[in-house]
């Protein structure tokens, strides 16, 4: 599935672009509830992973790659690997928040939910947002 930008995320990104709000670095989180992101999604719709070894990752602003092709803008970040030392949860997707972690900027379901195996495991996420039409 491709990433979904909820209304609150679009509003927040416009605030950043217009210098109405200070942006800071973004944060990458994993969610464990079987939820499909939609335009009206808010932070409380996502249940963050709590497995041993998990922590949200700070995405440094200068490390993003942004490209335009065929009038579509795509921003991507290097792959981030989350390693767990325990089992007991399924990772359904990821969401990206603003620096204060109060607003979901975008979220995406994994193609296949990742069931953390006995003894732990890891999942790799490449945060990407695209389909921003600039035509």
> What are 33-47's pLDDT values in tens digits?
999 999 999 999 999
Q: What is the largest CA-CA distance in the chain?
A: 49
The pLDDT tens digits for 89-135 are 999 999 999 887 688 999 999 999 999 988 889 999 999 988 655 44
The domain spans of the chain are 7-133
Specify the residue for token string 């996502």: 46
Residue linked to tokens 């490390």:
63
Confidence of residue 15 (pLDDT cuts 50, 70, 90): confident
| Distance separating alpha carbons of residues 14 and 52, to the nearest angstrom | 36
pTM exceeding the 0.95 threshold for the entire prediction:
no
Encode pLDDT of 52-62 as tens digits. Answer: 889 999 999 88
CA dist., res. 74 & res. 67, Å (int): 5
Q: Over the range 35-65, which residues count as b (16 or more CB within 10 Å of their CB) and which as e?
A: bebeeebebebbeebebeebebbebeeeeee
């Amino acid at each position: 599935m491709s990433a979904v930008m909820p209304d609150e995320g679009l509003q927040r990104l416009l605030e950043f672009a217009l210098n109405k709000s200070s942006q800071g670095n973004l944060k990458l989180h994993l969610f464990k509830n079987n939820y499909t992101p939609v335009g009206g999604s808010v932070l409380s719709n996502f249940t963050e992973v709590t497995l041993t070894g998990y922590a949200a990752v700070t995405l440094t602003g200068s490390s993003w790659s942004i490209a335009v092709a065929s009038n579509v803008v795509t921003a991507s970040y290097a792959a981030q690997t989350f390693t767990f030392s325990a089992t007991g949860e399924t990772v359904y997707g990821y969401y990206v928040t603003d620096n204060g972690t109060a607003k979901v900027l975008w979220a995406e379901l994994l193609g296949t939910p990742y069931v953390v195996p006995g003894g732990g495991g890891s999942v790799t996420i490449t945060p990407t947002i695209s389909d921003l039409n600039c035509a």
